[in-house]
Structure 1
Amino acid sequence: MEHGLSPVMVFAAVGAIGVGSQWLAWRLRLPAIVLMLAAGVLIGPGLGLIDPARDIGTLLQPMIAVAVAIILFEGGLTLNLRHLRDAREGVRRLVWLGAPLGWVFSTLALRWGAGLSWESATVFGGIMIVTGPTVIAPLLRQARLARRPAQLLQWEAILNDPVGALAAVLAFEVVLVRYSSTTVGEGIFDLVLGVVVAAALGAGAGYGIARAFRRGAVPEFMKVPVLFALLLGVFALADAVLHESGLLAVTVMGLVIANSDLPSYTEIRRFKEYATVLLVSGVFVLLAASLDLSLIFALDWRAPFFVALAVLVARPATVFLSFLGSRVPWRERVLLALTAPRGVVLVAVAGLFGERLVEIGVADGAQIAPLAFALVAATVLLHGFALRPLARLLGLSGGAVPGVVLVGGSSFAKALAEALHKAEVPVLLTDPNYSRLLRARVEGVPVFMGDILSEAAEENLELIHYDTLIAATDNDAYNTLVATDLGPEFGRETVFQVAREKRESARHQLPATLGGRPFGGDATLADLTQAMADGWKVRVTRLTEEYDLAAWRDDRPNARLLAVIGRDRTIRFVNDGEDLSPGSDTRLVALVPPDEVRAAREARAAGEEAALTRDGGVVKAGT
């Protein structure tokens, strides 16, 4: 295309393609970051539909810089020190030992693998400390890692991002001293001044905004706009003092706010998370669309050799040396050693310093940008497809069968938990009263004594193993609170709560934004508990080609269908009236009245007795 698209059309197309890639990845259960990379390359150098440099012009780099700053700030907002706990030692080692070791090993890989000069290798090696929060976030969401390795990867990615950028600045200052009239003293002074100013700006802004929010100096509806404006100001001021120090400033600012115990912190963080999803999508598609394929094709055999050294030698050596003598289990060390995706920050910063090196006379600085994209593409593809299988192999991922969290230790909840446990569906029963959990624990059902919303639950429960939650306590308000608070984490389509006692009253009706989906039809917990007292049982029945859903309904006309368990043990909770089409070898979970329980028991006994008189096998008709 000769004239290209207007900037508005480019923004619309990039937004639609980025978010569309994430949605398609969710539907196909593929790594989102891989689809975004492929989509960007396709619409950019592949078909030539979008050329960001041509269509957006000089605004491209500032836009990417601001987007990366917002992404890092949102990452800093997730770094609450109280939640670190058992991962604290690992994070400390990955930052204080891992960063310098990674710099050294990456520099050697670039020098001996890619054949770069020491000047270019040292600058690019500093940038390679960055492990990419823009890539880690979607990867963790897809891989469902256990809490501690997920925390280690997330903290390393966010904290080492500004560290890597500053390492590149330091190396560049050293190179600048050699290739220009700049003295060593001037270079060191500029670097120290930039770091001090950035850290002070970030900490001061974070403390100031937290204090203003806590004292009510900013109205609720203005908090996010004020936060955004301050974020941009801090980033711009720090970057004006020392280039790339703005990343450090916004990370420190987010870290301070995250540890300030603000009442509105959760709402602010969730809004930032939504903004980050859009920014990650857009920036990654833009960078992929900006790729010059001729530079990639110009790379020789040294490029894949360098990538192999970076992934299989430099990263494992960094992790294993950093964790010598630590208490981090070997499985987590292996996972960390083989996981180091690179993303937006690496490409953006590498391209910038590559151009600067060429300007001062380091010719092979031009190779930094294509090598950076080759490393990003390789690690994105590798970790996008391999992280989840590797985590499962090491026992550090949510199981292949997502489970159910039952909140409340009523007789009905215990019966449902025991039935699901026997059906080999992962289940967790929680209640603050330990006596209500004793029977379930005796039956082998995993239990948690305490409030599901407490910090103890957040620290001790691996909720990645569960994708469905049912709030079934005897307190309707608490059920609504649990469903509302945990809805964003589980997904609102998989969060349920039992019917409320006074839901029909206009005075007690709640908006659709509160609570979860109805569970068990219109039966309240009192109704379900009374049914259990009257002899009703939770039963799991297997359907076969001979014994289908219609036959089951004929045998149990009064049973209340609760859920359908598929062949792969995935579970779907249903309500009466929903369109069902379960095939053979699926199982139905239902609350069955006493007369139908008795009839089923008698039919099963009669079938077993008849089977003993036959020469053939037993004919199964459900359990």
Structure 2
Amino acid sequence: MATTPAEGLDPVSAIALVGAVGIGAQWLAWRLRVPGIVLMLLAGVLVGPVFGLLDPERDIGPITDSVISIAVAVILFEGGLTLNFHALNDAAKGVRRLVFLGAPLGWLTSALALRYGAGLSWESSAVFGGIMIVTGPTVIAPLLRQARLERRPATLLQWEAIVNDPIGALAAVLAYGAIIVLNGSASLAQGVGHFVIGVGVATALGLAGGWGIAWSFRTGRVPEFMKVPVLVAVLLAVFALSDLVLHESGLLAVTLMGVVIANADLPSYEELRRFKEHATILLVSGVFILLAADLDFSTLAGLDWRAVAFVAATVLLARPAAVLLALAGSGLPWKERILVAFTGPRGVVLVAVAGLFGSLLAGLGIEDGALLGPLAFVLVSATVVLHGFTLAPFARWLGLSATGTPGVLLVGGSRFTAGLAAEIAAAEIPVRVVDTNLYHLRGAREAGVPIFYGDILGESAEQQLHMVDYGTLLAATDNDAYNTLVATDLAPEFGRDRVFQLARYKGDAPRHALPSTLGGRAFAGGLTYGELEQRLRAGWQCRTTRLTAEFPFAAWQEMHPEAVPLARLDGRGIAFDWKEIGEGERLIALTPPRAAVAAAQGTTVEQAAEAGRQPEEPARGAD
């Protein structure tokens, strides 16, 4: 039976509200082009302590902490699935230093910031300092997606966030164990033995779980329709068993399990990864809403100016000092080291683990342990807002972000793509032509257009092409089936509304036709590769025209009735899908030879050329 607002929500309604508010905040952030994490925190605070619509402890009950723990485990596992060793390339040395040197240095500098900034005891500082190693994959991933960093600094931040997450939790476990030993609650041998056994069991379970999944999937021991359910079941079992031996060691186990699967070259890996990405978006939304809604303003009231000093010391001293010392002599450019050093947003793992150990420390009689939860929330809120709004401009200032205008990938080298790419490049929009046949790329090379010789779906493209630089893809090879494969496979990467392909040849028998639900959006008025090539052999060319009040789109259409509009250029970039084009914008179109235009208009070639060419846009190429 549903409860009244005064009594709170029933668990089903509360969970539904969490999902609606979390996903709604992410969608609104996408529409407004602001960091999603910031809006999720704000939304959680509004529905929780501000308006009192949601109280996780009251409405969902004691399972809230367990739900958050499982969600964090799934998030870390998905993060592990992104850690393919082949993608490290020249970032490998930096990642090793951030893990093996940066983590202990971060523990030390964070503990000092807590001791002298927040004024905590050495016991609380040691435990919380270990947790602060965590930079938070739940926050880093959305920020990287928005900031569009260059490959190496993005790789450094992503790997550090995911790998150091379980390390930070285990550092807190180690510090807490040391405090128990010093308090006489356990002997040194017992404390060290328990920790070593727990870490060993977690490592073994993670490796065994990952290897078992990879082996069973590769050998067909699990049917296709059960792969995701089996994966989730094994993931939860590994997490639970590891946590039974040593609390928080399950985070290490699931991260290792994800890394093993990511490097196993499974044929169904992409399908699994995308499913986990979707699940992670839901879980991140839910966890942030729950943690923010559970905030008690009265606990924050117990903080003073030292909380501000602690945040400032962490952001400006502790984090930069640890990273810069760890990366000293690494050979990385100083700009990349500066960017990584001053980018350390914290996320849900910090808040969840800090709340747990804060209550444990308070139970041992360490009074300031109760401040760990509020300080963690203040640090997360401050760093999320700070880095959410400053990472992209800071990276641009350092010259480490992708170009401001998303580029275009043209898959398939031909006279058509070479001509289209030349017009796009002339508009100062990044463009690259990709083909597996070097001869097909000759036209693009002669036009001075960047190329990539290889398969767009291959591992080399994933490693060498920085996909974040491109916002639109056109599959335009002479193979309809390959075009459809490329468009279908890369649609989740670019967004289905930004993936296009040439029309398929209609002469195939129905039994050879590909499903209409596959592939990209229509392009070039539905012309096929053969029809485009036929026009190019007849002298047609890609040309750019600037439209003005005196020469609007309607006038252009009247002058070029046979021309095929291809793209619209405005101040924000390029669009292949558009319904109208306004004054001051430019139009790229495939137009017939000047002689054909002159014959249709009853004028000379010179008159047709003069009428069809705007002063701002001299035609390129020859008829």
Q: Give the TM-score category using the shorter length.
A: over 0.9
Letter of the structure 2 residue corresponding to residue 12 of structure 1: A
Q: Is 1:92 aligned with 2:91?
A: no
Q: Is 1:257 aligned with 2:265?
A: no
Structure 1 stretch 357-366 or stretch 586-595: which is displaced more?
Answer: 586-595
Q: Which residue of 2 aligns with 1:536?
A: 540
What aligned pairs does 1:37-436 form with structure 2 within 5 A after superposition?
37-436=41-440
Letter of the structure 1 residue corresponding to residue 35 of structure 2: P
Q: Deviations for 1:421-457, whole angstroms, at most 9, x for unmatched residues? A: 1121211011222233233223321111111112111
Q: Contact conserved, 2:597 with 2:608, CA < 8 A, in 1?
A: no
Q: Which residue of 2 aligns with 1:613?
A: none
Structure 1 stretch 81-90 or stretch 156-165: which is displaced more?
Answer: 81-90
Query: Quick one: structure 1 residues 167 and 606, their matched pair in 2 at CA, closer, same or farther if it must change by over 3 Å?
Result: closer
Q: Is 1:472 aligned with 2:493?
A: no
Displacement of 1:504 in angstroms is: 7.0
Displacement of 1:621 in angstroms is: 9.9
Q: 1:495 aligns with which of 488, 495, 499?
A: 499
Q: Could you say what secondary structure the match of 1:518 adopts?
A: coil
Query: Quick one: structure 1 residues 606 and 77, their matched pair in 2 at CA, closer, same or farther if it must change by over 3 Å?
Result: closer
Q: Could you say what secondary structure the match of 1:429 adopts?
A: strand
Report the TM-score, using the length of structure 1 for normalisation. 0.95
Q: Which residue of 2 aligns with 1:561?
A: 565
Q: Contact conserved, 2:415 with 2:443, CA < 8 A, in 1?
A: no
Q: Could you say what secondary structure the match of 2:452 adopts?
A: strand
Letter of the structure 2 residue corresponding to residue 93 of structure 1: R
Q: Is 1:461 aligned with 2:460?
A: no
Q: Contact conserved, 1:179 with 1:361, CA < 8 A, in 2?
A: no
Q: Contact conserved, 1:537 with 1:597, CA < 8 A, in 2?
A: no
Q: Contact conserved, 2:481 with 2:514, CA < 8 A, in 1?
A: no
Unaligned runs of at least 5 residues, structure 2:
none
Q: Distance in 2 between matches of 1:372 and 1:555?
A: 66
Displacement of 1:584 in angstroms is: 1.7
Query: Quick one: structure 1 residues 514 and 619, their matched pair in 2 at CA, closer, same or farther if it must change by over 3 Å?
Result: closer
Q: Distance in 1 between matches of 2:428 and 2:562?
A: 26
Q: Could you say what secondary structure the match of 1:511 adopts?
A: coil
Q: Deviations for 1:25-72, whole angstroms, at most 9, x for unmatched residues? A: 111111111110110011001111000011111000000000000000
Q: Distance in 2 between matches of 1:555 and 1:608?
A: 8
Letter of the structure 2 residue corresponding to residue 533 of structure 1: R
Q: Distance in 2 between matches of 1:400 and 1:251?
A: 34
Q: Contact conserved, 2:345 with 2:383, CA < 8 A, in 1?
A: yes
Q: Which residue of 2 aligns with 1:519?
A: 523
Q: 1:506 aligns with which of 505, 510, 514?
A: 510
Q: Deviations for 1:330-376, whole angstroms, at most 9, x for unmatched residues? A: 12111101111100000000000000000001000011111100000
Q: Distance in 2 between matches of 1:503 and 1:61?
A: 60
Query: Quick one: structure 1 residues 608 and 342, their matched pair in 2 at CA, closer, same or farther if it must change by over 3 Å?
Result: closer
Q: Contact conserved, 1:405 with 1:468, CA < 8 A, in 2?
A: yes
Query: Quick one: structure 1 residues 71 and 620, their matched pair in 2 at CA, closer, same or farther if it must change by over 3 Å?
Result: closer
Query: Quick one: structure 1 residues 115 and 420, their matched pair in 2 at CA, closer, same or farther if it must change by over 3 Å?
Result: same
Q: Which residue of 2 aligns with 1:573?
A: 576
Q: Distance in 2 between matches of 1:619 and 1:251?
A: 59
Q: Which residue of 2 aligns with 1:588?
A: 587
Letter of the structure 2 residue corresponding to residue 150 of structure 1: A
Q: Distance in 2 between matches of 1:503 and 1:231?
A: 49
Displacement of 1:190 in angstroms is: 0.8
Q: Distance in 1 between matches of 2:514 and 2:446?
A: 38
Q: Is 1:27 aligned with 2:31?
A: yes
Q: Contact conserved, 1:546 with 1:621, CA < 8 A, in 2?
A: no
Q: Could you say what secondary structure the match of 1:58 adopts?
A: coil
Q: Distance in 2 between matches of 1:158 and 1:145?
A: 17
Q: Distance in 1 between matches of 2:618 and 2:181?
A: 81
Q: Distance in 2 between matches of 1:223 and 1:545?
A: 59
Q: Distance in 2 between matches of 1:503 and 1:464?
A: 37
Displacement of 1:560 in angstroms is: 0.5
Letter of the structure 1 residue corresponding to residue 99 of structure 2: V
Q: Deviations for 1:282-331, whole angstroms, at most 9, x for unmatched residues? A: 10111011111122232111111110110111111111111111121212
What aligned pairs does 1:430-445 form with structure 2 within 5 A after superposition?
430-445=434-449
Q: Is 1:484 aligned with 2:488?
A: yes
Letter of the structure 2 residue corresponding to residue 590 of structure 1: A
Displacement of 1:471 in angstroms is: 0.6
Letter of the structure 1 residue corresponding to residue 128 of structure 2: F
Q: Could you say what secondary structure the match of 1:30 adopts?
A: coil
Structure 1 stretch 393-402 or stretch 119-128: which is displaced more?
Answer: 393-402
Q: Distance in 1 between matches of 2:410 and 2:335?
A: 30
Q: Deviations for 1:368-418, whole angstroms, at most 9, x for unmatched residues? A: 111100000000001111111112222222211111000111111111011
Letter of the structure 2 residue corresponding to residue 220 of structure 1: E
Q: Deviations for 1:472-519, whole angstroms, at most 9, x for unmatched residues? A: 111111111111111111111111111111377532343344211111
Q: Contact conserved, 2:113 with 2:313, CA < 8 A, in 1?
A: yes
Q: Distance in 2 between matches of 1:525 and 1:448?
A: 20
Q: 1:547 aligns with which of 531, 548, 551?
A: 551
Letter of the structure 2 residue corresponding to residue 88 of structure 1: A
Displacement of 1:143 in angstroms is: 1.3
Q: Deviations for 1:553-600, whole angstroms, at most 9, x for unmatched residues? A: 1221111011111123x11103xxx632x2221111110111466679
Structure 1 stretch 129-138 or stretch 436-445: which is displaced more?
Answer: 436-445
RMSD: 1.9
Displacement of 1:12 in angstroms is: 0.7
Q: Distance in 2 between matches of 1:423 and 1:621?
A: 10
Q: Could you say what secondary structure the match of 2:54 adopts?
A: coil
Query: Quick one: structure 1 residues 32 and 269, their matched pair in 2 at CA, closer, same or farther if it must change by over 3 Å?
Result: same
- The alignment-based identity, stated in percent, is 61
Report the TM-score, using the length of structure 2 for normalisation. 0.95
Query: Quick one: structure 1 residues 524 and 198, their matched pair in 2 at CA, closer, same or farther if it must change by over 3 Å?
Result: same
Q: Distance in 2 between matches of 1:462 and 1:606?
A: 41
Letter of the structure 1 residue corresponding to residue 584 of structure 2: D
Displacement of 1:134 in angstroms is: 0.7
Q: Contact conserved, 2:150 with 2:400, CA < 8 A, in 1?
A: yes
Q: Contact conserved, 2:525 with 2:565, CA < 8 A, in 1?
A: no
Q: How many residues were matched structurally?
A: 610
Q: Deviations for 1:95-125, whole angstroms, at most 9, x for unmatched residues? A: 0000000000000000000000000000000
Q: Contact conserved, 1:496 with 1:517, CA < 8 A, in 2?
A: yes
